[in-house]
Amino acid sequence: MEGLLNNWRRTNYAKNITPKLTGEEIIIMGWVHEIRDLGGIIFILVRDTTGMIQITAPSKKVDPKILEELRKFRKESVVAIKGTVQESNKAPNNVEIIPQEINILSLANQPLPMDPTEKVKAEIDTRLDSRFLDLRKSNISAIFKIKSQMLHTVRDFFYKNGFLEISTPKLVASATEGGTELFPITYFEKEAFLGQSPQLYKQIMMSSGVDKVFEIGQIFRAEEHDTLRHLNEAISIDAEASFMDGNDMMKVLNNMIEQVIIDINEYCKEELELLDHKLPIPDKPFPKITYDEAVDIINSKGIEMEWGEDLSRAAEKALGNTMDDFYFLTEWPSHVKPFYVMPCAHDPTKSHAFDLMYKNLELSSGATRVHQYNILVEQIKERDLNPDAFNSYLKAFEYGMPPHAGWGVGADRLTMVLTGVNNIRETVLFPRDRHRLTP
Ligand code: ATP
Ligand code: MG
């Protein structure tokens, strides 16, 4: 059977092949990036996860059988090549391979649905339809290397700070904050929903005695958005901690974002370069402005906004233009925030809720939570929700619930900031939006 690995194994990645290895026999494996057949000599560029290496086959030096095999190559096919390393000042990285044995592992059909060598630019929809090909571009895979590093740092950060990693159900019986933005599903003989946030579960966990928890998981929102910053399935980084308030948790969030940026600058230099993106380490601490101050700024920029409204897109933009990169927006009006947010003792129309913004993009919402059963029931009723629907959540507040606070960060939105892309779809391998359910 053709195309088997058998006893072929890669000895080197493209990036590790240098003129120092001249004379050595090596095996490389990867995709055929470019073929140039000049008759008397064939040049092939092979690409693997680390970069490119040139295969040079002069007809005088190479067995005719090998030349015949090389002429079967098609762009983007997967090949393994055994050969000798040779220094060459004409090849990329001053090194090339003279082939001795060829193994075609998988031939790619032609024409390709899109060009992964970027010679022809493709629209985002074409790219997402053939995402596996799109990801073969180094500037596209760079986005996911940065996202992966971000998630790695985030996990590390939580573990170092004593947070327990938890996984809560994504099949839920009732809404977190209200009923309008949920995907209903059939759960045997009942109706259920896809979870829009782990909020209620991470709060229940505060009553379990474990103190600090975090979760990195999917959230589902049925909003009919068609924007560059909303998806119907997103990743949320959620944290909740007992015996802390919103200010304490803002510090935790600030420290986490700072660590992420430090690590990405350290471990993803090449990826930032590929994306032509600079990511300066932000000054600490992030500035804070109150909602009241924000309303004044927004109005002073000619965008009309009443006290008590949520920020419109125009308002977010006006504010983003006047603020530093990262900033906290604090003391939100109580009624625009969910029932589990703690009202201010001195003025209950205001709350201990905050958002973390990057320019005009909301990255996170958080708050000191209500931990008193009676206030919580009151606030549920004030929002025309039925406390009975929250029985299993409310129960956790009746038998010893510590004061607590927390936040949720959109991992995909954070990735937009880290990579400099302006469409959230770029930061998700297989995005789910109003019009896309495949691949
Ligand atoms: P927005 O006002 O921008 O729609 P939100 O206030 O509804 O966001 P929250 O419920 O506060 O969002 O969720 C916490 C975080 O999760 C947000 O700050 C954002 O980073 C992320 N997030 C929320 N909804 C989405 C979505 N539809 N797509 C991608 N990320 C989202
Ligand atoms: Mg929010």
Our mutation pick for probing the ligand 1 site, out of 316, 362, 418, 432, counting the most ligand atoms within 8 A of Cβ, is 362
Ligand 1 atom at minimal distance to the Cα of residue 230: 28
Tokens of 162: 């004593």
265: nearest Cα among 279, 283, 282, 284:
279
Ligand 2 centroid to 289 CA: how many Å?
A: 16
Of all protein residues, the one whose alpha carbon is nearest to atom 26 of ligand 1 is 230
Candidate of 219, 226, 341 to mutate for ligand 1, largest count of ligand atoms within 8 Å of Cβ? 219
**How confident is the model at residue 236, as a pLDDT?**
98
Q: Which pLDDT belongs to residue 175? A: 61
* Homologous superfamily assigned to 14-106: Nucleic acid-binding proteins (2.40.50.140)
Q: How confident is the model at residue 293, as a pLDDT?
A: 97
CA 282 → CA 194, 259, 287, distances in Å? 36, 10, 11
User: CB of 11 within 8 A of CB of 45?
Assistant: no
Nearest alpha carbon, ligand 1 atom 23: 410
In a 13 Å sphere around the CA of 44, the CA atoms on its Cβ side amount to 30
In this structure, which residue's CA is closest to atom 11 in ligand 1? 365
Tokens of 1: 């059977």
pLDDT at position 436: 96
Ligand nearest to the CA of 363: 1
- Count CA atoms within 13 Å of residue 165 on its CB side: 11
pLDDT of residue 180: 62
> Nearest Cα to 294, choosing from 319, 323, 259?
319
pLDDT of residue 344: 97
Q: Checking phi first, is residue 142 left (phi over 0); if not, alpha (psi -120 to 50) or beta? A: alpha
Q: Is the Cβ–Cβ distance between 15 and 6 less than 8 Å? A: no
376-379 LR contacts (CB < 8 Å, sep 24+): 376/339, 376/340, 379/339, 379/340, 379/343
Closest approach atom of ligand 1 to CA 410: 20
Which ligand sits nearest to residue 406's alpha carbon? 1
* CA–CA separation, 277 and 269 (whole Å): 10
Find the 244 Cα to ligand 2 centroid distance in Å. Answer: 20
Q: Report pLDDT for 178.
A: 63
Intervals of the chain under pLDDT 70 = 175-180
Superfamily of domain 133-287+324-427: Bira Bifunctional Protein; Domain 2 (3.30.930.10)
Nearest CA to ligand 1 atom 16: 410
Nearest CA to ligand 1 atom 2: 362
Q: Which of 176, 339, 365 to mutate to test the pocket of ligand 1 (most atoms within 8 A of CB)?
A: 365
**Going by CA atoms, what residue is nearest to atom 4 of ligand 1?**
230
pTM, 2 dp:
0.96
What's the pLDDT at 233? 97
- Residue 179 pLDDT: 52
What value does the CA radius of gyration of the chain take, rounded to a whole number of Å? 27
Q: Which residues surround ligand 2, an ion (CB under 5 A)?
A: 365
Say how many Å lie between the CA of residue 303 and the centre of ligand 2.
Answer: 21
Total length of the chain: 439
The candidate with the shortest Cα–Cα distance to 212, out of 174, 170, 146, 256, is 256
Task: Name the residue among 169, 229, 232 with its Cα closest to residue 199.
Answer: 169
Task: Confirm whether 14-106 and 133-287+324-427 share one CATH topology.
Answer: no
Of 405, 428, 407, nearest to 256 (Cα)?
A: 407
The ligand 1 site (C-beta within 6 Å) comprises 221, 230-231, 234, 236, 362-365, 408-410, 412-413, 424
Domain ranges of the chain: 14-106, 133-287+324-427
